[in-house]
A and B are shown apart, each in its own frame.
Chain A
Amino acid sequence: MSNEYAILPCNGLDKCAGCISREVALKMMEQTESEILCPVLYRVTDARYNKIAEEKPLLVVDGCKTRCASKIAAEKGLKVAKKITVTEEAKNRNMEIVDGLRIGENELKLTDDIVTELLKEKEKDEMLEGKSIFPETYEYEFYQKDKFIFRLPSTGFYFNENDVWVYIVGNKARVGVTDYVQKSLSDIMFFTPPAVGSEVEQFGELGCIESGKAVFEIISPVSGKVTSINDKLVSFPEWINENPYEKGWIVELELTELEEDQDLLLDYNAYLPIMKRKVDEFHV
């Protein structure tokens, strides 16, 4: 597959980060067969861009955490293949973005860095898939509230009070969110994964998932090192809605302090009343 995208940048003139998004989009367009969707025109009259948006995988470039480009993508019902936020990219590289709107040398370097990384990632998109040590299906108990049914696996799983599960095999673990999270967020549209190789403490962040109106930070139930992410979720975040325990799993970790972490893990019997309470309050 060639490395072309339909690019929806923030392009906003409110902050320099918006101007950088625009630069990133331009550079990507120059170096690949990508095409740009002007967010302003797209917002007003989408006929001009509908075909491009349909034919090419969508790259959303948000300037800041206001996420205007993401919101436009959500509004237009677009499927997002890849998404970045300029201010986060700067933070990850310990770079400061200037206050004004003009792009300086530093911002140009950031732009180049981001583009280089995007191109590299696109190349290694077709990753090899190893055989998993985790089961493909599990047994569930059910809690029903009105017409909503919440699944909860009864054996082998641990949870934290932030509605994130962990399934442990030896010193490896798989992590994901519970049915309560996917149901309360409703249609999940974006998955921002953590970096493979990064280390996380118990209750540290393992990326986020977003629906049209809300962002959910995945709070790790255990400490460990990220060994792999479910990168299919970047293109198919709706898998988390379909089954957050099976094909909607989020990351795999190598455990570093399981014994220490165990004190703050809940088993099925301890988590179930917490989930029930949240479900009951949510539907009031």
Chain B
Amino acid sequence: MGENTFMGVPRDKIDWSPRIDYNKCDYCMECVDFCPHNVFEVRENEEKKLIVKNPNNCVVFCRACGKTCGPDALSFPNKSETTKAIKVIRKEMKENE
């Protein structure tokens, strides 16, 4: 059990991180200020001034940054799909033990 697992599953096998809708994002950077896990990165000189730099730093099932987003530009994967995927991987890991 290390910091790169969630429920015993390696974090990089779980697809969970915010998706930015660039049509809605107004680059207020509230999410960047909010997230303590260094998920986002600001790129002042590029067209997309905000990117999801470290998706695997994102806490699985956390959607808190989305709640700070005025223009509602952040979305997340479906929770029950993600739960199912985690269960499948856990089962595979158990079988391979």
Residues of A within 8 A of B (CB): 15, 64-67, 87, 161-162, 201-205, 208, 213-217, 219, 263-264, 273-274, 277, 281
Contact = CB atoms under 8 A, between A and B. Distances in A.
B32 interface: no
25 contacts: A65-B69, A65-B70, A66-B28, A66-B30, A66-B68, A67-B68, A161-B6, A201-B79, A201-B83, A202-B83, A203-B82, A203-B83, A204-B80, A205-B63, A214-B64, A215-B67, A217-B63, A217-B67, A219-B62, A263-B87, A264-B86, A264-B87, A274-B1, A277-B3, A281-B3
B64 A203 contact: no
Contacts of B67: 65, 208, 215, 217
B70 A64 contact: yes
Interface string B52-77: 00000001111110011111100000
Contacts, number: 61
Contacts of B68: 65-67, 215
A161 B5 CA distance: 10
Contacts of A162: 59-62
Nearest to B66: A65
Q: What is the size category of the interface that chain B forms with chain A?
A: 20 to 34
Contact of B64 (A64, A217, A264): A217
A264 B3 CA distance: 17
A90 to B, nearest CB: 11
A274 B82 CA distance: 21
B79 A203 contact: yes
Contacts of A274: 1
A162 B63 CA distance: 11
Contact of B70 (A66, A204, A273): A66
A203 B58 CA distance: 15
Given A161-B6, A214-B64, A273-B1, A87 B87 contact: no
Nearest to A265: B7
The 4 A-B residue pairs with the shortest CB-CB distance in the complex, in nearest-first order: A66-B70, A215-B67, A215-B64, A64-B70
Among B61, B69, B71, chain A packs the most CB atoms within 10 A around the CB of B61
B38 to A, nearest CB: 12
Contacts of B79: 201, 203-204
